[in-house]
Amino acid sequence: MDARERKRIFKNACRQERARGSSLIEYWIVVTTGVAAVAIVLCGAYLYNEIKSREFVQNRVKLKVYVALLQAVTEINVAGNDAYALDRAKRNLASTLNQINLIAGPQVLLHVNELLDFLNETREGDYDVLKEKNILNSIVKAARRELDPASARALEESQFRFRFYNPPRP
């Protein structure tokens, strides 16, 4: 083997080493990119899960308060002429309204204000049951839109009216 032959062999060996090194670098780039992509997907899934669980908890709290509002209105209706029961029902309604002011959406608050205006303006003998039922229906529709828009849309398209208990007035 002459010097030229050795030089050519050495150059080929160096090229092969460089090719191995560049393929090793490309391999690590691919692995690092894959690990980063998996980490990003896992972080995204975790954030999505946290957002959905937060919405679930918020909707559960809102549902409890909306149910408490309807129960308070029913207690006022059932109290009738009993001063003690009426006073307790009004206190319960006031407490529930404080909670609603903190968590309710704008449409629900609008209809709750209508309900309060109705209750404040109504005298003992001028009680309009139909108007109260319409206001309560609008509150329930707004609450359903806020909590579950898909089922609310289906109910609104069917023109369903909610029913509420209202004992006869003496």
Per-residue pLDDT of the chain (170 residues; tens, 9 = 90+): 577 776 677 666 666 666 565 666 777 888 899 999 999 999 999 999 999 999 999 989 988 998 998 888 888 888 877 888 888 988 888 888 888 888 888 888 888 888 888 888 776 656 677 788 888 888 888 888 888 888 778 877 787 777 776 666 55
Q: What's the whole-model pTM score?
A: 0.67
Residue with tokens 């692995």: 31
**Contact between 144 and 105 (Cβ < 8 Å):** no
Task: Dump the DSSP string for 5-29.
Answer: HHHHHHHHHHHHHHHHHHHHHHHHH
State CA 147 to chain mean position distance: 6
